[in-house]
Amino acid sequence: MKISLETFQEIHNQIWKELGRATQDRHHTWRTPVLTTVGLDGSPNGRTVVLRRCDSHAGLFSIYTDSRSPKVAELKKTPQAQFVFWSTRLNWQLRVRAKVHILTTGALVESVWQQMRHTKSAGDYMTPQAPGASFPSANTHVDQENLDTYFAILQAEVVAFDWLELSRFGHRRAQFCDNTWQWVSP
Ligand SMILES: Cc1cc2nc3c(=O)[nH]c(=O)nc-3n(C[C@H](O)[C@H](O)[C@H](O)COP(=O)(O)O)c2cc1C
């Protein structure tokens, strides 16, 4: 479906609408963006993640992860990250520069975990081995009392959008930063 958007406000609103839809619709291609962080050695490190929550009013979206995963250590050191989304339906690429907050405690973490803890997905955050740990590990002991302590929410606070629309009538690209949109060369 081709969406005809003329104004920056329309583009801005549609971006947030699509991000919101992607958290609900398993088939939305924006559901699985690439999150790129700065590695501990300074090199870029990208990986696919699942978009879980979105709050357009606060300018936030979130993914869930294991607090032991290397990306969490990277984000602790450098909280700046880039998310890249591509949609074949929209013909849109969206690059998002974000400041990432790591939430491991608090009301939001607690309420999400309570909803999730008896589902299959909970297992992703309860493995005895940390993601990225060498395998097999000498220590495979499962601490049954603390199985839920590895769940974390990575909350991305949007700093900038780089929006690219591919079209046979001419590509369009616009950037949003400091509350201002501007057209740039595609
Ligand atoms: C389709 C897909 C979705 C994924 N979703 C997530 C996710 O939401 N959270 C996550 O931590 N890892 C997710 N992963 C795994 C990451 O891509 C990555 O392999 C893992 O988190 C380890 O990354 P790190 O070593 O850079 O921390 C997903 C992988 C794929 C292929």
What is the pLDDT, as a whole number, of residue 116?
87
What is the pLDDT, as a whole number, of residue 141?
53
Is residue 48 situated within a structural domain? yes
CA of 96 to the centre of ligand 1 (A): 18
Is residue 74 situated within a structural domain? yes
Q: Which atom of ligand 1 is nearest to the CA of 52?
A: 8
The predicted-structure confidence for 26-46, as pLDDT tens digits, reads as follows: 999 999 999 999 999 999 999
Please name the residue whose Cα sits nearest to atom 13 of ligand 1. Answer: 49
- Kindly report the CATH number assigned to the domain that includes residue 37: 2.30.110.10
The predicted-structure confidence for 84-143, as pLDDT tens digits, reads as follows: 999 999 999 999 999 999 999 999 999 999 888 888 777 777 777 777 777 655 555 545
Mutate to test the pocket of ligand 1, among 32, 47, 51 (most ligand atoms within 8 A of CB): 47
Whole-prediction pTM: 0.91
pLDDT higher than 80, residue 147? no
> What total number of domains does the chain contain?
1
Is residue 100 situated within a structural domain? yes
Write out the DSSP string of the chain: ------SHHHHHHHHHHHHHHHHH-TT-GGGSPEEEEE-TTS-EEEEE----EEETTTTEEEEEEETTSHHHHHHHH--EEEEEEEETTTTEEEEEEEEEEEESSSHHHHHHHHHHTTSGGGGGG--SSPTT--SS-S-----GGGGGGGEEEEEEEEEEEEEEE--TT--EEEEEETTEEEEE--
